[in-house]
Amino acid sequence: MFDTTDEKARLRRQMSERAIALAMREQWKEAIAVNQSIIEVVPTDIDAYNRLGKAYMELGGWKQAREAYTKTLELDSNNAIARKNLERIAQLENLRVNVKNDSAKVSPDFFVGELGKTGVITLQNLAPSKVLAKMTTRDKVYLKQKGHNVVVENEKGEYLGLVEPQHGNRLAKLMGGGNKYTAAIYSLDNSKAKVFVRESFQSPGQAGKLSFPTKGAEDFQPHVKDTMLRQSETDEELAEDEGEAEDADLEEGELLPSGFSIFEAGAYVDDMVDEELLDEE
């Protein structure tokens, strides 16, 4: 089918870019077809199997997703993305939760940091696994003021967790004074949940008050992976990078430099991103 190895690599790259673009637009059926085409050309393409599994999960196809992720592990027994998602599928089956995710999602551009107005916060007193299992990264969530605290709920009004008091108390005061915030799931597993929060409106009476003051924020220098600087257009679950993620995870409530995205900060690599593709020029 191909005259040279270079031609085969070029076609694979083009199809991979297409598959990623389709996933970003949440065109999962089309993404399945493209990833299957990649696998026909390169039967050992681990990234295509992972993207295929993700697409099937988004459509509620547990069996097909499990098959795709299982194939990944046959090719790479230490693949963190496949292991994580197979565990999630098993959990969802045990809890009898519908894996299909119809929640409203934010765009990748939402995760661009702005000093004082955005932050990543950790939740405490998490909801039961049956509730959390229905959520994934980029799902929109909502901050609700509860006295001196702030809780996070999903779009159905289900409780997800309590914003740690260090930041929850301040946000509660600002919300009580008229500030408004938008938020989305940043990272999530059975024992830890983080939410990216953005100040969407500042009440005139609170002008100058930072939603996320951080000591030494002006001196903050994130660890940046070279490939991540070319990855800001890609997105989905922000999973760890094939078991070798450089854990530059942001501290609770830490800010990002103005104009910097969480992808560029190198905290996580999306589980549908083709790292090899990103390294190619």
> What does the domain layout of the chain look like in residue ranges?
5-100, 108-230
Q: What is the pLDDT of residues 245-261, one digit of tens each?
A: 333 344 444 454 444 44
Higher pLDDT, 32 or 237: 32
Higher pLDDT, 136 or 127: 127
* pLDDT attached to residue 110: 83
pLDDT-based confidence at 227, cuts 50/70/90? very low
pLDDT-based confidence at 93, cuts 50/70/90? confident
Pick the CATH number of 5-100 from 1.20.990.10, 3.40.50.720, 3.30.460.80, 1.25.40.10: 1.25.40.10
| Most confidently predicted of 8-12, 44-48, 57-61 | 44-48
pLDDT at 279 over 50: no
- The candidate with the shortest Cα–Cα distance to 61, out of 83, 24, 28, 94, is 28
> Whole-model pTM?
0.60
pLDDT-based confidence at 240, cuts 50/70/90? very low
- The candidate with the shortest Cα–Cα distance to 269, out of 237, 241, 231, 235, is 241
CATH number of 108-230: 3.30.70.2330
Q: How far apart are CA 265 and CA 179, in angstroms?
A: 27
* pLDDT attached to residue 221: 39
Q: How far apart are CA 154 and CA 132, in angstroms?
A: 10
Taking residue 78's Cβ as centre, other Cβ atoms within 10 Å add up to 10
* pLDDT attached to residue 4: 67
Higher pLDDT, 94 or 175: 175
Query: Which residues face 119 on adjacent strands?
Result: 197
What value does the mean pLDDT of the chain take?
Answer: 75
Tokens 């409106």 belong to 201
Q: How far apart are CA 23 and CA 42, in angstroms?
A: 20
Task: Taking residues 185-194, report their average pLDDT.
Answer: 82
Which sign, positive or negative, has the C-alpha torsion 81, 28, 265, 275? positive
121 Cβ contact partners less than 8 Å away, ≥ 6 residues apart: 163, 164, 167, 168, 194, 195, 197, 252, 253
pLDDT-based confidence at 138, cuts 50/70/90? confident
* pLDDT attached to residue 231: 34
pLDDT at 219 over 60: no
* pLDDT attached to residue 72: 95
